[in-house]
Amino acid sequence: MANGSQLLIENDGVVATFTLNRPDKLNALNDQVMADLGDAADRITTEDAIHGVILTGAGPKAFVAGADIADLAKQGPFDGKARALRGQGVLRRLETCGKPVIAAVNGFALGGGCELAMACHIRIASDNAKFGQPEVKLGIAPGYGGTQRLPRLVGKGRALQLILTGEMIDAAEAYRIGLVNKVVPAAELMAESEKLLRGILAMGPLAVRLSLEAVERGLDMSMEEGLLLEANHFGLLAATADMKEGLTAFLEKRAPKFAGR
């Protein structure tokens, strides 16, 4: 199924693949694509036929080469701020959609592209992928969460180096600093991403959902609050058929069969 031409959505009833589809502009994020992404994030949250998502870019060159610079060139201070808040909101909806989202990074992931990949839960990169926050070269700064998510992922020093110099790093370096989870040959990117996602989807669905929530929300809490959230989830899971099935299957030395999977 497809909703418009700039964000393609395929769904096999379990795994949905979202493909940003402006290859002639290296899949740059214009306002329409951002609005479509926001709608897509809401669909992930609400549609039972989507258990997990792979997000990638069309064409051989780019995941996403950033926010659309032609749009940015027209903005003044107020609509600039509004664009940043809108974009941040879209990425946060994706990050907190409750289901695993894997970025399959198939080329340039620059500026808003790097920020979009960081809002996904796991990043798999093809060996030709390139990452960076080049905004300072344009006289702007990251606006879709880069100044907040990059230091959380790679540490303050490395984040500031990338943000202040605008330098581009290759997939191997992105892996070395913890920006991506795995690097694979370009031809294997989608298969590897799907394998990882289907492995996650074979786990207890409620356990996966609450683990995502504890990590995403807990990072913004104090340790005490985060630990309480974790304990609440742990107790809540004890009331579920998922836990009963998971533990029983272990004791009976068989594979678990979780409801709805």
> Which sequence positions are flagged as catalytic?
115, 135
15, 97, 105, 110: which one contacts ligand COA (CB under 6 A)?
110
65 is a contact residue toward ligand COA (CB under 6 A)? yes
18, 108, 131, 175: which one contacts ligand COA (CB under 6 A)?
108
115 is a contact residue toward ligand COA (CB under 6 A)? no
2, 14, 49, 70: which one contacts ligand COA (CB under 6 A)?
70
Closest CA to 86 of 145, 151, 135: 145
Closest distance of CB 137 from ligand COA, Å = 6
* Sheet containing 168-170, strands listed edge to edge, beginning at the edge strand earlier in sequence: 62-64, 108-110, 130-132, 168-170
- The nearer residue to ligand COA, 138 or 229, going by C-beta atoms, is 138
Structure tokens at 258: 């979780």
Tell me the site size for ligand COA, rule CB under 6 A. 16
- The nearer residue to ligand COA, 71 or 95, going by C-beta atoms, is 71
Candidate ranges 4-12, 134-142, 149-157, 175-183; the one touching ligand COA (CB under 6 A)? 134-142
Structure tokens at 43: 């669909």
Identify residues 8-47 at the interface with ligand COA (CB under 6 A). 25-26, 28
- Where on the chain is the footprint of ligand COA (CB under 6 A)? 25-26, 28, 65-70, 108, 110-112, 134-135, 138
